[in-house]
Amino acid sequence: MIGYILTIEQKEAIQGVFFAPDIFFNCVQDINDVWFLFLSDQDKGLLPQEYLYLLDLPQGEYVPPPTPDPF
C-alpha cells in the first residue's frame, strides 16, 4: 500500500485535524516507525488550500506491523 510519508512534526501538526465537516486526518505508523497518511481521491478533492502541500510529500510503501496472535 502506497501512502504519503510524514515527518513526526508533520504528523503532529495534522493528526486529528478536520479538513471537511466529517473528515479528519488519521496518520498511521508502520513497522519501521515511519508515519504515513493515506488520502482517497475524494479526500484529495476536499483538501483546503492550506493542506495541498501534503500532495507533494514523498510517497512510499507502508509495511504494516504484524497482527498479534489472538491466543
Q: What is the number of domains present in the chain?
A: 1
**pLDDT higher than 90, residue 18:** yes
| Residue 39 falls inside a structural domain | yes
Q: Which domain holds residue 57?
A: 2-61
Q: In residues, how long is the chain?
A: 71
> What is the residue-wise DSSP string for 2-28?
EEEEE-HHHHHHHTT-EEETTEE---E
Which pLDDT score, from 0 to 100, does residue 47 have? 96
Instruction: Say what the pTM is.
Output: 0.90
Which pLDDT score, from 0 to 100, does residue 46 have? 95
| Residue 10 falls inside a structural domain | yes
| Residue 41 falls inside a structural domain | yes
| Residue 69 falls inside a structural domain | no
**pLDDT higher than 90, residue 71:** no
Average pLDDT of the residues in 30-41:
97
**pLDDT higher than 90, residue 13:** yes
**pLDDT higher than 90, residue 5:** yes
The span from the CA of 33 to the CA of 50, in Å, is: 26
| Residue 18 falls inside a structural domain | yes
